[in-house]
Chain A
Amino acid sequence: SQTIHQWPATLVQPVGSPLSLECTVEGTSNPNLYWYRQAAGRGLQLLFYSVGIGQISSEVPQNLSASRPQDRQFILSSKKLLLSDSGFYLCAWSVIGSGTQYFGPGTRLLVL
C-alpha cells in the first residue's frame, strides 16, 4: 500500500534562516506531488505541484521554492524565512489521471 511521509513534524525557525521540508511517497511510481500551506481562516492554499522529476509548477509567487530530485521525493525550501511563512505545510500525492489526492501528516512551521 502507498504511504506518504513528511518531516520534520514541527519546526521553529528564526526569521532569515533557511528552510527545508521533505516529503516522500512509498508504494507508487511517477505520482503527481503537491505542496500546500494551511493558515487559520484561509483554507488550503496550493503552493507547488509536480508531474515529474525536475518539473515544478508554482501557483503563488512567494518566498518559497520546491524541487523534485527523485520520483517520489518532494522538497520545499526557502533561503530566508519570513514571519508570514509560518503555517501548516501539507504534502500530497495523486495518481496521474486521478484527481484524488492523498495527504501526508503535515509539518507545523513557526517562524519567530
Chain B
Amino acid sequence: SQELEQSPQSLIVQEGKNLTINCTSSKTLYGLYWYKQKYGEGLIFLMMLQKGGEEKSHEKITAKLDEKKQQSSLHITASQPSHAGIYLCGAAPFSLGSNYKLTFGKGTLLTVNP
C-alpha cells in the first residue's frame, strides 16, 4: 500500500517568515492533494497536482510536484496567523479508474506567532 511521509511533523514560525512542508511517497503518485485543517474542523481542499514538475499557487501558498512524481512541497510566503493549522497531503495511487481512494499523510502542524 502507498505511504505518505510528511515533514516536519510540526513547525513554529514568526509571522512574515516563509516556510516549506514536504510530502514524500513510497510509490509514484497519480495525484497529490493538499488540504488544510483547523483543529476540530473538517479538511479544506487547497490544490491538486498531477503532472510531474507541476506547480500551482493559491494566494500565498505554492505547491510543487517533482518530476518523478514522488515528492511534493508546500511553500507559504510571508506567513500570517491565518495560515496556522494542520496541513495534510493526500495521494491517489496510480490509475485507479473512477473510484479514487486517497491515502493521507499524518499532517504537519503549523503555528504562526504574531
Residues on A close to B: CB < 8 A? 32, 41-44, 46, 49, 51, 59, 88, 90, 92, 94, 96-106, 108
Contact = CB atoms under 8 A, between A and B. Distances in A.
Contacts of B106: 41-43
Interface of B: 30-31, 33, 35, 40-45, 48, 88, 90, 92, 96, 98-107
Contacts, number: 58
B42 A101 contact: no
**4 smallest beta-carbon distances between A and B, as pairs:** A99-B100, A103-B42, A43-B106, A44-B104
24 contacts: A32-B99, A41-B106, A42-B106, A43-B104, A43-B105, A43-B106, A43-B107, A44-B88, A44-B90, A46-B101, A51-B99, A90-B42, A90-B43, A94-B100, A98-B100, A99-B30, A99-B100, A99-B102, A101-B33, A103-B43, A103-B44, A105-B41, A106-B40, A108-B40
A105 B92 contact: no
Nearest to B105: A43
B42 A100 contact: no
Nearest to A44: B104
